[in-house]
Each structure stands twice: as C-alpha cells, then as structure tokens.
Amino acid sequence: MKKVFSTLMILITWVSVIFPQSSLAIEKDCEVLKKYMQEVSIDCNMAIDEGLDLDDVIQKIQKEYDSVKFKNIKDKKNQKGIYPKVFAKSIRKVLSKELTYKNLHMYIKSGDYFDYMFDNQFVFISQVYFSKNGNEYFVEESNVRSIKKGMKYTGDEQSLFKVIHNGKELYRFAVFNHYRQKKAKISIENKIRKVPVKWIPNYVQNEEISFKSTEKTIVISITTCRPKDLDKYRKVVSEIRKILETTDKTVVIDLRNNTGGQLGIVDNILYSLLLTQNQQNSEYFSKILNNISQNYYELNTQTIRDRVLVAGNADKFTRLKMDKNKYVQGYGSSDEIEKVSVAINNPKYNKNLYVLINNQTGSAGEVFALFTKKIYENTILIGENSFGCVKFGDPYVYSLPNSEISIGFSATDISKSVAMISTKNWKGETYGIYPDIWATSEEIIDTMIYLTKDEELKNVLLSGKIQEKSK
C-alpha cells in the first residue's frame, strides 16, 4: 500500500512538473473559448462550415502564448499562474489572422486592456485635388512640387473621394490604413510618386441629444442610441417632433461619434422626421423598418437560447426553440419593400436631408444612417467612412474562467438584409459606410455652408472638443 501511495505521489509530482497549474489553466480556457466559438458566434460557425479547423486555431493560440509569455512581460500573473493580458493579446493575434469573417462587434478585454478583434480603417487624406472631365481626372491643386495642375491621374479611381474645396466640387486623393501613415503612393501620368497624407482627429460631442437652429436650418445632434437618461432623451425627441411637424427648414442629423445602442431609438427619430403623425402611417412605417431589416440569420444553439431567456426575451426563446435549424432566417415581404416610396409620398419634409457621419459612427449609429438612406431618397451622407460595425449583431459577452478574459461574440448576421445589400454606401465591415461627400472635422462647416447656403451653420456645427486619441 505504501509502495502504491509513493508511486502515486511521484506521478502527481511528475504531472505537476510537466503540466504546471498555469498550463492546465490555459488549456481549460482554450477549451471554453472553443466551446463559445462553436455555440455563440455566428461568424465563427460560418467559417467552420467553410472549412476552418478550430482545433488548429486553438493550438496556435496556445503556441503563441507559450512563445511570448516570458518575453518583455509587463503583465502580472493571476492566481492561476496566467498572464491574462498576454493571453488576451495572443488570442487576438491568432483570431484576427485565422477567422474568415471580420466582425467589429467581436472584442477582447482583460483589465485595462481592450481591443477589437479586427482593425477598422481610417482615411488618410492628401492635399492633392482633381477635377473630373468625363471619366478622367486632372490635377486641380497640389502641395507636391512634382505634381502640377493639369496633370492626368492614372491611379485607382477608388482612391479619389468627392469633396467640397474652395467652393468647388472636386476629388481628393486619400488612402485607408489603421495605423499611422505619413506618405502614400500616387500614379500621375503613369508615374508613381509619393505624397504626404494625414489623419484628422474627430470632434467629440458632449450631449446625448440636442438641437440647434438657424433661420434656415435645424441641426439635430444624436451622439448615442443608448441614452443614460431615457426620460430626458424622450423629452428632447418630443420637442424635435413638434418642430419638424411645422418647419420648412433644412434638416441636418449629426451622427458623428454615435457608437450605437438600441435600434428602437433609430425608429423613433426616423418616424418623427419622415412621416405625418397618424396611426396608419405609424403602423406602415414600423412595417417598413421591419422589412428592410429582414433576411438576417440567427445562430440557434442551446447556449444562445439560455442567454436569450436570461435576458428576459421569452418570445425569442420560444421562436428559436421551435426552429430546428442551426441558422434561423428572418424573411421580409418583397411587396412591402418595393412600396417604400408609398410611405413618403406625402412627407412633411421634402428637402435634402443631410446626415453627418465619421469613423466613430458605429453599430446602431450606422444602421441609423443606412435606414435613413434607404427610406428617404433625398438623404445625403456627409463626413468620413463610418466605423464598420454592422454586418454582425446581437453581441453577447462571455468570460474565460481562469484568465477572466471577456470576449464579445455575435449571434446574428444581417449582411443580407435589404438595408445592407441595397445601399451602395455600405463598403463592408471595418470600412463602413462611405459618405456621398467627404469632409473631415476641419472641413465639415465649409462643406455644409456650401450645400445649404447657410452661413450661420458655423455657429452651431462646431461643438465639443477635439478627440484626444490620434492615429
């Protein structure tokens, strides 16, 4: 008996040496991560269906963590012997490379470390402007000596963006990058040159919802679809509705830095803007909103259903439980979609509707812009490309038990919804919505004055403070 006991103790010691506590804890967390990717992430499931080897991905995460955990460590071990921030960065590094679908609702957090699983794209602008003649572009203005007025642009047309500059409609050369970039290559007269480029910081608005008026224009600023004080928010919405019912002013909706929240907020504002106040139109508008958001897919697993039930959505739980498919599809009525114009045949507002966006307009904020563009044909988007966080929705947050890392996963895919596939301004996850006319925070006032012919806008559009974080 003593011999058996001694052998057992030796075995336990050997195991603890070969498989220390930290390694076992990492393995457990990787098992849980794999489970979540299989059971709560629709984009991961879509990738798995197309051949993604999840076991290989998990092994790469473990290998990455093992290779860096003792290098330049600024992180502290937790009680389980894990460097949680190092582990989080390892997960992020591998998943951002291996996952097929980019999803900006997917994020990872450990302590004060937070990062999206994928990089969104910022626009870096030049000071080289072009005029358009037919299908060709010629230099109108340049800060590069070798690039002279009248020279022909011979590069990719997708790198030219429509702007208002010095009272003219021109096209500016710009490139996309997530990281700091100082120069970019441009093709002029079939010769590659380098031009300076830069990213312009955003202006941050302070109030959740507010409005200011000039004699000609009303500017409605909506910085969130997740208001902290819902009663105050509703009060302001009510005030806006009363004004819009009688106004003949040009309307500007400022969605810059609106990072999203609840889609119900979007419905309320759009209804106030575009329709008369009667029950018939109200019901019809709700039906239209429902239809243009249709043709989405929901992941249907027991883990998802349990989460839905805990969240208090019994109707959704029942609907998912009754459906035996892995992906539950929502359908819209094509007849109703085709009749969108009927809803705005007699709108109280029939001018151009200007919607301002920037690279911090995300999620429900982006849906706001897309829905407006779809429903009201006179909508003109102004600003920069949005955050690019729309394709996947219904984000749920899950934690890994040993490292206590939090990861956001998405349960729905709305990429095939009517609002997404029928709006040319949507350029895909991470790139977001492209405006019809581009304008940085430094140019937005001059651009809007040019479009609205309202000089007083310089007194109501510039608010808040410059964004501290720069690229």
Query: Which domain CATH number covers 234?
Result: 3.90.226.10
Task: For the chain, give the mean pLDDT.
Answer: 84
Average pLDDT rounded to a whole number, residues 31-57: 96
Lowest-confidence pick of 115-119, 169-173, 282-286, 341-345: 341-345
Lowest-confidence pick of 178-182, 386-390, 419-423, 428-432: 419-423
Phi, psi values for residue 48, rounded to 5°: -65, -40
pLDDT tens, position by position, 113-140: 999 999 999 999 999 999 999 999 999 9
Does 131 lie in the same domain as 80?
A: no
Which of 196, 216, 236 is the last residue in one of the domains? 196
Who has greater pLDDT, 377 or 187? 187
Does 440 lie in the same domain as 358?
A: yes
Q: C-alpha 233: how far from its chain's center?
A: 23
Does 352 lie in the same domain as 251?
A: yes
Does 155 lie in the same domain as 173?
A: yes
> What Cα–Cα distance (Å) separates residue 213 from each residue in 220, 382, 461?
9, 19, 10
In a domain, 94, yes or no: yes
Lowest-confidence pick of 75-79, 291-295, 380-384, 409-413: 291-295
Lowest-confidence pick of 127-141, 304-318, 401-415: 304-318
Does 212 lie in the same domain as 74?
A: no
pLDDT tens, position by position, 320-372: 888 889 998 865 544 444 444 444 444 555 788 899 999 999 988 898 898 88
Phi, psi values for residue 33, rounded to 5°: -60, -45
The predicted structure's pLDDT at residue 286: 61
Quote the CA–CA distance of 101 and 412 in Å, as a whole number. Answer: 13
Quote the CA–CA distance of 378 and 349 in Å, as a whole number. Answer: 10
Who has greater pLDDT, 267 or 230? 230
Instruction: Supply 421's token pair.
Output: 């596939």
The predicted structure's pLDDT at residue 459: 84
Q: Which residue has the tokens 């879509």?
A: 46
Does 50 lie in the same domain as 134?
A: no
Residue 37 sits at the vertex; the CA angle it makes with 33 and 42, to the nearest 5 degrees, is 160
The predicted structure's pLDDT at residue 451: 96
Who has greater pLDDT, 434 or 469? 434
Does 248 lie in the same domain as 353?
A: yes
Confidence of residue 417 (pLDDT cuts 50, 70, 90): confident
Stated as kind and residue range, the H or E segment containing 141 is strand 136-141
* 177 strand-pairing partners: 122
In a domain, 242, yes or no: yes
> Is the pLDDT reported for residue 243 higher than 60?
yes
The predicted structure's pLDDT at residue 228: 84
Does 157 lie in the same domain as 264?
A: no
In a domain, 217, yes or no: yes
Q: How far apart are the first and last CA of the chain?
A: 68
Instruction: Supply 301's token pair.
Output: 């697993």
Handedness of CA 34, 43, 367, 158 (dihedral sign): positive
> Is the pLDDT reported for residue 12 higher than 60?
no
Is residue 123 within 8 A of residue 108, CB to CB? The reply is no
> Is the pLDDT reported for residue 395 higher than 60?
yes
Handedness of CA 355, 359, 360, 366 (dihedral sign): positive
Does 89 lie in the same domain as 140?
A: no
Does 87 lie in the same domain as 53?
A: yes
Which of 196, 220, 240 is the last residue in one of the domains? 196
For the chain, how many structural domains are there in total?
Answer: 3
Does 221 lie in the same domain as 144?
A: no
Does 73 lie in the same domain as 128?
A: no
Q: Which structural domain, as residue segments, surrounds residue 135?
A: 122-196
In a domain, 181, yes or no: yes
In a domain, 319, yes or no: no
> Is the pLDDT reported for residue 276 higher than 80?
no
In a domain, 223, yes or no: yes
The predicted structure's pLDDT at residue 205: 67
Confidence of residue 204 (pLDDT cuts 50, 70, 90): low
In a domain, 403, yes or no: no
pLDDT tens, position by position, 46-98: 999 999 999 999 999 999 999 887 665 677 889 999 999 999 999 999 999 99
Task: Please count the other Cβ atoms lying within 10 Å of the Cβ belonging to residue 343.
Answer: 19
Which of 196, 221, 239 is the last residue in one of the domains? 196
In a domain, 10, yes or no: no
